[in-house]
Amino acid sequence: MTQTIPIKKNKTIPGSPLGWPLLPVPDKGTLSYPTLEDSIKQSIRIILLTRPGEQLMRPRFGAGLSNFLHLPNTLETRRQIQETVFNDLGRWEHRMVVLRVEVWEDEETPEAVRIEIAYKIRRTREQVTTTVKLNLGS
């Protein structure tokens, strides 16, 4: 016989909300969760790759970096990428504070840009820098 536990409506769980994705990874028959740092990096990747309108119930979610494909690698395009990344990471990932976003031409590939994102993890106050390469293909 199973027992059901009644849940009261409008009841909130104390403490700060967990951020997603907390994706479990199977390993030797057990599930392990990513560290806070890895979870934030996964979230950054998801935000940058998701176009607005792709996610159900969240039509404005995502930076949509794929919208910049086939645009010329000009100063104006790089400025738009910088503004989009800075604003959307600040809007959708609350476990971090975006310190700066810089976008440069990639020296190896002229049609690619290199996006450097510096942020601070709110809980640990650790500063992290990550780099993303985007091939514009023009």
Residues 6 or more apart in contact with residue 89 via CB below 8 angstroms: 44, 47, 48, 63, 96, 98, 101, 117, 119
Instruction: Report the range of poorest mean pLDDT among 9-18, 30-39, 64-73.
Output: 9-18
Domain locations in the chain?
Answer: 32-135
Q: Which of 113, 117, 94, 95 lies closest to 104 in space, CA to CA?
A: 113
Choice between 119 and 2, residue whose per-residue pLDDT is larger: 119
Question: Residue 126, Cβ neighbours under 10 Å: how many?
Answer: 12
Does 2.40.110.10 match the CATH number of domain 32-135?
A: no
Predicted confidence at residue 34, as pLDDT, reads 85
Choice between 1 and 84, residue whose per-residue pLDDT is larger: 84
Predicted confidence at residue 24, as pLDDT, reads 64
Predicted confidence at residue 20, as pLDDT, reads 54
Predicted confidence at residue 21, as pLDDT, reads 56
Per-residue confidence band for 113, with pLDDT thresholds at 50, 70 and 90: very high
Residue 117: pLDDT over 60 = yes
Per-residue confidence band for 26, with pLDDT thresholds at 50, 70 and 90: low
pLDDT > 70 fraction of the chain, expressed in percent and rounded: 78
**Helices in the chain by DSSP H: which ranges?**
36-49, 75-92
Average pLDDT in the 64-79 region? Answer: 93
Which 3 state secondary structure label does DSSP give 76?
helix
